[in-house]
Amino acid sequence: MMEAIHRVWVTRARPGADRTAERLTGLGHTPLVVPLLEIRPLDVALDLSGVQALAFTSLNGVAAFAALSPDRSLPVFAVGDATARAAQDAGFTSVRSAEGSLHDLATLIRAEASGLSILHPGAAEPAGDLSAAVGDTARLRSIAVYGAVETRVEPPGDWEAALVHSPRAGRALAALMQGRPNLPVVIAISAAAADPLRTTGFAEVRIAAAPTEAALLAALGNPRPAV
């Protein structure tokens, strides 16, 4: 039987890190919130002329767009339920959740937004190419509304597992941990997030069964080793 994990390092940026910490506490873990990334909104001019819908791939994209524009009239396609809730909380009334990954979002857009002109406010360094995944079914344009910078902090004390929510966080954690001995367990939300960590020296690298936080948290007690 696997030894229970209690002290869990949350490496993702705030405010998402605080939501993750709440969920960990509810599951009986002790969250250690020490973000490896900091989200910084970009001062960009949004041109919504001709835009018929919005696509959000993260909570950060919703927050950055909401700070840049008061427009809440456009329908929203969100990558997952947490992003959809963030859009609703920001004042959007027509919100559809793909309930999964970027490719699930692309599938939803292809099925329900054929021919529409869609704006995707996202990261300066996106984890995936939504436009390529959507193809020519819809006219999708991406714009960077936020960036992520490494905090270069030291890890928390006595952590037993680290959660990695993105490839960018995976690269930051790998750089920070390189050459350190006796590294415990790391749990990644996807194979892409786990890739930078495979040769870092962790005792175990687990990958969530699906690219969702629910699956990531389930992997704390349901190991899925990286291969």
DSSP assignment of 1-41, as one string? -PPPP-EEEE-SPTTHHHHHHHHHHHTT-EEEE--SEEEEE
pLDDT at 128 over 90: no
Report which DSSP code applies to 153.
P
pLDDT at 225 over 70: no
Rounded to two decimals, what is the model's pTM?
0.83
Taking only the tens place, the pLDDT of each residue in 51-76 is: 999 999 999 999 999 999 999 999 99
Strand pairing partners for 7? Answer: 30
Which domains are assigned to the chain?
A: 7-36+151-218 (3.40.50.10090), 43-146 (3.40.50.10090)
pLDDT of residue 172: 96
Taking only the tens place, the pLDDT of each residue in 195-208 is: 999 999 999 999 99
pLDDT at 142 over 70: yes
How does strand 76-78 pair with strand 53-56?
parallel
pLDDT at 19 over 50: yes
pLDDT at 224 over 70: no
CA dist., res. 94 & res. 53, Å (int): 10
CA dist., res. 164 & res. 24, Å (int): 14
CA dist., res. 196 & res. 216, Å (int): 17
- Residue 2: band (very low, low, confident or very high) from pLDDT cuts 50, 70, 90: low
- Residue 211: band (very low, low, confident or very high) from pLDDT cuts 50, 70, 90: confident
| Residue from 218, 213, 216, 204 nearest 227 by CA | 204
